[in-house]
Amino acid sequence: MWLFTILSENDRLKVLRDFDLNVIFTPERAAKIRELWNGNVNSPGFVYELYRPTNITPYIYALVYHVLEFIDIYKNIELPAFSCYGVEKKNYDHVLHFFKNL
């Protein structure tokens, strides 16, 4: 069984600032990640800029604001049909593309 605690905002920033990346990454990769973190962690828009308005597709808008309406209309469809596989796949592709370019 894993024992863990949820980090507060200050603790998260401390981990980002002080974590020794060389323990788990090659020195080159650790340096690139450190450069990325140090460049963004103190930026006030760090979290807010992860998804800009131009990245919000109509699909995501419909998912967020109309999913209950869709479930009501399509009562005979099982709930797993409303999974977020498409959103998760898009996120996976973006993360994969980002880390390939480091």
- The predicted-structure confidence for 62-84, as pLDDT tens digits, reads as follows 777 777 887 788 777 776 666 77
Type of residue numbered 63: L
* pLDDT at residue 48, as a whole number: 46
Q: For the segment 35-47, what is each residue's pLDDT rounded down to a tens digit?
A: 877 766 555 554 4
Q: Is 9 helix (H, G, I), strand (E, B) or coil?
A: helix
Whole-number Å distance between alpha carbons of 19 and 78: 44
**Could you tell me if 13 and 37 are in contact, meaning their C-beta atoms sit under 8 angstroms apart?**
no
For residue range 15-63, list pLDDT tens digits in order: 777 888 898 889 998 888 888 777 665 555 544 445 555 666 666 677 7
Same-domain status, 59 and 38: no
Do 34 and 78 reside in the same domain of the chain? no
| pLDDT reported for residue 49 | 46
- The verdict on 44 and 56 lying in the same domain is no
| Helix-strand-coil split of the chain, %, nearest 5 | 70, 0, 30
Number of domains composing the chain: 2
